[in-house]
Amino acid sequence: MVSKNQIKLITSLQQKKYRFTNKLFFAEGVKVIQELLQSNFELEHLYTTQNDFEEVLSAKKTVIDDNDLKKISALSSPNSCLAVFKVPVEKKMIESGLILALDSIRDPGNLGTILRLCDWFGIHQLVCSKETVDIYNPKVVQATMGSIARVNVSYTDLNAFISKTKLPVFGTFMDGVNIYKTSLSQEGIIIMGNEANGISAEIEKLVQNRLTIPRFGEIQKTESLNVATATAIILSEFRRNS
Amino acid sequence: MVSKNQIKLITSLQQKKYRFTNKLFFAEGVKVIQELLQSNFELEHLYTTQNDFEEVLSAKKTVIDDNDLKKISALSSPNSCLAVFKVPVEKKMIESGLILALDSIRDPGNLGTILRLCDWFGIHQLVCSKETVDIYNPKVVQATMGSIARVNVSYTDLNAFISKTKLPVFGTFMDGVNIYKTSLSQEGIIIMGNEANGISAEIEKLVQNRLTIPRFGEIQKTESLNVATATAIILSEFRRNS
């Protein structure tokens, strides 16, 4: 059984302000929940329709039916389990090596996919502008496939952060140098811009290294790559010769 | 005004079987519709809430209100226009150069993003297994951002197609050779597999060149890349030295 108050609390966590005031977020599905449990995420409570998760103390686990799961899930086709976790205290930023910085990424799926790419390419620090979608948004948590447990994510004033860094700053533009023909350092901040508007004018001023992913189509009409696929290509280029 | 019959027809086109029987599909939004109009797609009828698209004959255009648009749109927040186009006759397959082949891609967003990547990287032919999501699915059309007008897409028995090709066949696996350290040809078929299961066993037998995108994370737990981001990295590698 899930009480009315629990349903109210969990569904409220779909909104950022309630995640913030309650310092809680939730994840759905066995794989993501297991990854979070194995990492340093503190479980508040697990709801499952199966007799699984033997490692979780019974005081922190409630077996519920499909009907109850539907009431708390954010998915149109709910999985078999949902777990509420405490939002961890933001860790100190890692200011060395390669850092990815996001200037107003708005789509939860894009942020989740980018976090998964950071994990794959060994990027330990993701820095998000305050306008970027919240990492504990349920759709982001879902799209990260567990990578949320392995990459340090910080929200900050991006302008202030980049203004004071001593690391080289990279950004992608239509008029940059060919990324395939530039030697890329293994230290620096790589900035990816908003889905519709790219990197903002204010941040663009702070970019010393303007890069371009060349187009190969003969009819050069494709206006841009999706930000997650562009991030994939850029991280691959930075790492391929490391 | 949109008649009841028109609403019934257009909403039915969200389903593949009705697109097939009516030989029609629809697109939403000014940008995508303009790209399709400028290409060889034959307009059946345009519905718009604005007094725009001056190039379209009035016999083929109906100005409607937001309420009517809502009734025919597949989007939760409808755009300002929706256009019904004829499904073109499938063009002859281009069997030279680099060809991308999809083995059961199921997510419309992934297929749309992959088509956009083909366009960017000058891949003229996309070959889809019959189990791959339909390219005229409204969510695919939306995600292609107009690239649907510039890449030739064919649905075929993938096994039969690959069995008879003389081109080299490439596929990505966990145990392949490092893609960064292999010389890649500018002719061949690159196969991308299903989101959950990768390349099927039947198709895997036909792959001569097993490739891997190396992981760089120290804790090597990331199980896989999203298929669209993996495609981005692979196409970038094939093209970067061309």
Same structural domain for residues A116 and A221?
Answer: yes
Residue A177 forms beta bridges with which residues?
Answer: A211
Q: Which chain B residue is nearest to residue A224, measuring alpha carbons? A: B120
Q: What SS3 class is residue A2? A: coil
B227 and B116 housed in the same domain: yes
Closest Cβ opposite residue A228 in set B145, B215, B229: B229
Print the domain residue range for B48: 4-86
Q: What is the pLDDT of residue A164?
A: 95
- Regarding whether B124 and B24 lie in a shared domain, the answer is no
The residues, ordered by sequence, that sit 6+ positions from A19 with a Cβ below 8 Å of its Cβ are A13, A25, A87, A134, A136
Three-state DSSP state, B87: coil
CATH of the domain at A219: 3.40.1280.10
- Please give the Cα distance from B132 to B111 (Å, whole number): 9
Per CB-CB distance under 8 Å, the chain B contacts of A222 are 116, 119-120, 145, 147, 150
Integer Cα distance of A150 and A42 in angstroms: 15
Rounded mean pLDDT, A35-58:
92
Residues 171-200 of chain B with CB under 8 A from chain A are 180
> Quick one: pLDDT band at residue A176, thresholds 50, 70, 90?
very high
Residue A117 has pLDDT above 70, yes or no: yes
- Confidence at B224, pLDDT banded by 50, 70, 90: confident
Residue ranges of the alpha helices (H) in B30-129? 30-38, 66-72, 108-120
Cα separation, A155 vs A134, whole angstroms: 9
Per-residue pLDDT band at A104 (split at 50, 70, 90): very high
User: What is the number of structural domains in chain A?
Assistant: 2
Q: Are residues B113 and B54 in the same domain?
A: no
**Are both B60 and B107 inside the same structural domain?**
no
Picking from A43, A61, A86, the residue at the C-terminal end of a domain is A86
Number of Cβ within 10 Å of residue A188's Cβ equals: 18
Is A91 within the bounds of a domain? no
> Contact, B100 vs B127, CB < 8 A?
yes
Give B170-206 as a DSSP string.
EEEEEEEEEGGGS---SSEEEEEEBTTTBS-HHHHTT
* pLDDT at residue B223 in the model: 66
pLDDT score, position A150: 87
pLDDT of the residue at B143: 87
Residue A149 domain flag: yes
CA–centroid distance for B170 within its chain: 20
Mean pLDDT taken over chain B: 93
Look at residue A222 in the predicted model and tell me its pLDDT: 59
What is the model's pLDDT at position B242? Answer: 78
Question: Does the structure show a pLDDT above 70 at A203?
Answer: yes
| Residue A1 pLDDT level (bands cut at 50, 70, 90) | confident
Inside any domain, residue A198: yes
Residue B73 sits in the same domain as residue B112 = no
Report the residue of chain B nearest A124, measured CA to CA: B217
| pLDDT at residue A26 is higher than 80 | yes
Q: For B31, phi and psi rounded to 5 degrees?
A: -60, -50
Q: Is beta strand B81-86 parallel, antiparallel or unpaired with respect to B43-48? A: antiparallel
Rounded distance between C-alpha atoms, residue B171 and residue A85, angstroms: 39
User: How many Cβ atoms from other residues are within 10 Å of residue B55's Cβ?
Assistant: 9
- Residue-wise pLDDT tens digits, A204-223: 999 999 999 999 876 556 56
In the prediction, which pLDDT does B124 show? Answer: 93
Within a domain: residue A201?
Answer: yes
Residues B24/B84, Cβ–Cβ less than 8 Å: yes
With respect to residue A172, please indicate whether it lies within any of the assigned structural domains.
yes
pLDDT at B147: 87
The per-residue pLDDT for A221 is 63
Q: In which band, very low, low, confident or very high, does the pLDDT at B113 lie, cut at 50, 70 and 90?
A: very high
- Contact call for residues A43 and A62 (beta carbons, < 8 A): no
Residues A78 and A119 reside in one and the same domain: no
Amino acid at position B139, single letter: K
Does B222 touch chain A if contact means CB atoms closer than 8 Å?
A: yes
pLDDT tens-digit profile of B10-48? Answer: 999 999 999 999 999 999 999 899 989 988 799 999 999
Residues A60, A140, single domain; the answer is: no
Look at B164 and A39; give whichever has higher pLDDT: B164
Q: Which residues have C-beta within 8 Å of that of residue A12, sequence separation ≥ 6?
A: A18, A22
Same domain, A164 and A199: yes
* Percent with pLDDT over 70 in chain A: 98
Specify whether the CB–CB gap between B148 and B174 falls below 8 A.
no
DSSP state for residue A211 in the 8-state scheme: E
pLDDT at B222: 59
Tell me if A119 and B222 make a contact (CB, 8 A cut-off). yes
Residue A5 CB-density burial (10 A; 0-12 exposed, 13-18 middle, 19+ buried): exposed
We report the CATH number of the domain holding residue A72 as 3.30.1330.30
**pLDDT for res A137:** 97
User: Which of A59-68, A144-153, B132-141 has the least mean pLDDT?
Assistant: A144-153
Residues of B in contact with A180 (CB under 8 A): 240-241
Q: How far is CA A211 from the centre of its chain?
A: 23
The reply to whether A193 falls in a domain is yes
Give tens-digit pLDDT for B208-221. Answer: 999 999 998 765 56
pLDDT of res. B20: 96
Q: Which of residues 114-133 of A touch B (CB under 8 A)?
A: 116-117, 119-122
Report the chain A residue with the minimal C-alpha distance to residue B235: A233
The residues near A8 (Cβ < 8 Å, ≥ 6 apart) are none
Helix (H) or strand (E) holding A24: strand A24-28
